[in-house]
Amino acid sequence: MLDSFKRWIGGTPGGPDGRPLATWAKQHGLEFKKVRDEQGFVVEGRKDNYVWRLEWGDPQRSYIGGRELRLRAELALPHGLQMLLISRSLAERLEADAFDRFTQDMQTQIDNSMPEEMRWLAMFPKVNLSTYRGLRGRFVAVASAAPPVATWVEGELAARLEEATTRSLAGDPPFVLMTLRGRVYLRLEAPSLDVALLEEVQALYDCAVRRAMAAAENYNEGGGAWPSTTSTAWHSQLQPEFPSGDNKQRRQ
């Protein structure tokens, strides 16, 4: 029985080994489960007043090779708060892919088959990161409104991101941090997992959540008007992000 359980956690031959994630979840009192019919694992929990979900396994984005680490939290942020921080090399790749699609297919408008990351890079203006010396050469930021980005990134999050470039983000893997539909998402290419990586990414993500909530609160108190979400309302035609473990999601 014990051997059978170990094989289940370890995945099928050639599949991901979920034992480090299972151990980490148990240490933190979190719920761990295997995604049915897929090569992946899920950890779910509650922190403060929000529920968050971590997944590791087959990628849901074509720009990620190997395996993908994903986190999401339900925060009820304003839907107009649309911010994207992305590794510069990945941003350049997505912009080039978008340009190729437009020129090859003679398109005159953004294709809704593209992931939000690609669409936002085309739709939203870039936010100046020049004041963050450790970030400006490594990341690109775009947003529907620039002021909240400063609150989001400055201070603790900027420091954690800069530190991550020498650890979990060393080697410049595809990395995305974004606020969308009231949530905060993180995506990272992670061929393998260990406790050190999980701890670092979770701490980075928790910081991003705190700073996103502060950005929304500060912008509201300052009388800022959130941009209309009509330009991205048609995103709802896409499959939902981070499906339940019992349902497969259409890959984009």
Distance set, CA 209 to CA 99, 109, 148, 176, 213 (Å): 32, 32, 13, 14, 6
CB 132 within 8 A of CB 66: no
* pLDDT at residue 107, as a whole number: 54
113 burial (CB, 10 Å; 0-12 / 13-18 / 19+) is: exposed
> CA 237 to CA 21: how far, in whole Å?
33
CA angle 129, 133, 134 (to 5 degrees): 100
- Extract the tokens encoding 9: 């956690």
Per-residue pLDDT 10s for the chain (252 aa) are 334 434 444 555 556 789 999 999 999 999 999 987 667 999 999 988 889 999 999 999 999 998 999 999 999 999 889 999 999 999 999 998 877 776 665 555 555 667 889 989 988 999 999 999 899 899 999 999 889 999 999 999 999 999 999 999 999 999 999 999 999 999 999 999 999 999 999 999 999 999 999 999 887 755 555 555 434 433 332 233 444 443 433 343
